[in-house]
Structure 1
Amino acid sequence: MPYTLQQLTEFTRDIFKAIGCNQKDAALAADVLLRSDLRGIDSHGIARLSGYVRLWEKGRINVMPNIKIVHETPTTATVDGDAGLGLVVAPFAMQVAIDKAEKYGSGWVSVRNSNHFGIAGYHALMAVEKDMIGFAMTNASPLVAPTYSSERLLGTNPMCYAFPAGDYPPVVVDMATSAAANGKLEIAQRLGKQVPEGWIQDKTGAITTDPHALKSGGSLLPLGSDAEHGSHKGFALSATVDILSAVLSGANYGPWVPPFVAFLEPPSDPVGLGIGHFVGAMRVDGFRPVNEFKADMDNWIKRFKTSQTINPLQKVIIPGEPELAAEIDRTKNGIPLVDAVVKDLNDLALKFKINPLR
Structure 2
Amino acid sequence: MAFHTFPEPHLRNFTNRVFIAMGCPPADAELATDVLLRSDLRGIDSHGVARLSGYIRLWKKNRINAVPNIRIVHETPTTATVNGDGGLGLVVAPFAMKIAIEKAKVYGSGWVSVTNSNHFGIAGYHALLAVEQDMIGISMTNASPLVAPTYANERLLGTNPMCYAFPAGDYPPVVIDMATAAAANGKLEIAQRAQLPIPEGWAQDKNGVGSTDPNELKAGGSLLPLGSDKDHGSHKGYGLSAAVDILSAVLSGANYGPWVPPFVSFLEPPADPVGEGIGHFLGAMRIDGFRPAADFKHHMDNWITRFKAAKTIDPDKKVIIPGEPEFAFEQERAEQGIPLIDVVVNDLNELADQLQIPRLS
Structure 1-normalised TM-score?
0.99
Is the Cα contact below 8 Å between 1:55 and 1:261 reproduced in 2? no
1:14-66 deviations in whole A, cap 9, x for unaligned? 00000100100000000001111110000111001000001000000000000
The equivalent of 2:106 in structure 1 is 103
The equivalent of 1:336 in structure 2 is 339
Partner Cα separation in structure 1 for residue 218 and residue 360 of structure 2:
30
The equivalent of 1:272 in structure 2 is 275
Partner Cα separation in structure 1 for residue 171 and residue 192 of structure 2:
37
The equivalent of 1:141 in structure 2 is 144
Is the Cα contact below 8 Å between 2:104 and 2:110 reproduced in 1? yes
Partner Cα separation in structure 1 for residue 338 and residue 320 of structure 2:
23
Q: Which residue identity is paired with 2:334?
A: T
Partner Cα separation in structure 1 for residue 312 and residue 99 of structure 2:
42
The equivalent of 2:122 in structure 1 is 119
Question: Of the candidates 296, 307, 311, which is equivalent to residue 308 of structure 1?
Answer: 311
Please state how far the C-alpha of 1:264 moved relative to its aligned partner. 3.3
Please state how far the C-alpha of 1:350 moved relative to its aligned partner. 1.0
Is the Cα contact below 8 Å between 1:58 and 1:262 reproduced in 2? no
The equivalent of 1:10 in structure 2 is 13
Q: Tell me whether 1:283 sits opposite 2:286 in the alignment.
A: yes
Partner Cα separation in structure 2 for residue 342 and residue 288 of structure 1:
48
Q: Tell me whether 1:231 sits opposite 2:234 in the alignment.
A: yes
The equivalent of 2:184 in structure 1 is 181
Q: Which residue identity is paired with 1:120?
A: A
1:310-357 deviations in whole A, cap 9, x for unaligned? 111111000000101111111111100010100110011111221111
Question: Of the candidates 343, 354, 358, which is equivalent to residue 355 of structure 1?
Answer: 358
Identical aligned residues as a percent: 73
Q: Tell me whether 1:163 sits opposite 2:166 in the alignment.
A: yes
Q: Which residue identity is paired with 1:121?
A: G
Q: Tell me whether 1:69 sits opposite 2:72 in the alignment.
A: yes
Partner Cα separation in structure 1 for residue 221 and residue 264 of structure 2:
16
Q: Mind listing any 5+ residue stretches in structure 1 that lack a counterpart?
A: none
Partner Cα separation in structure 1 for residue 33 and residue 331 of structure 2:
19
Partner Cα separation in structure 2 for residue 78 and residue 44 of structure 1:
26
The equivalent of 1:203 in structure 2 is 206
Q: Which residue identity is paired with 1:30?
A: T
Partner Cα separation in structure 1 for residue 299 and residue 322 of structure 2:
16
Q: Which residue identity is paired with 2:338?
A: I
1:354 partner SS: coil
2:115 partner SS: strand
Partner Cα separation in structure 1 for residue 31 and residue 218 of structure 2:
33
Q: Mind listing any 5+ residue stretches in structure 2 that lack a counterpart?
A: none
The equivalent of 2:49 in structure 1 is 46
Is the Cα contact below 8 Å between 1:138 and 1:159 reproduced in 2? yes
The equivalent of 1:88 in structure 2 is 91
Partner Cα separation in structure 1 for residue 257 and residue 187 of structure 2:
21
Structure 2-normalised TM-score?
0.98
Partner Cα separation in structure 2 for residue 184 and residue 34 of structure 1:
18
Aligned residues: CA RMSD: 0.6
Partner Cα separation in structure 1 for residue 72 and residue 152 of structure 2:
37
1:116-167 deviations in whole A, cap 9, x for unaligned? 0000000000000000000000000000000000100000000000000001
Question: Of the candidates 216, 219, 223, which is equivalent to residue 220 of structure 1?
Answer: 223
1:276 partner SS: strand
1:337 partner SS: strand
Partner Cα separation in structure 1 for residue 179 and residue 256 of structure 2:
16
Q: Which residue identity is paired with 1:332?
A: E
2:120 partner SS: coil
Partner Cα separation in structure 2 for residue 354 and residue 64 of structure 1:
20
1:275-310 deviations in whole A, cap 9, x for unaligned? 000000000000000110000000000000011111
The equivalent of 1:254 in structure 2 is 257
Please state how far the C-alpha of 1:263 moved relative to its aligned partner. 5.5
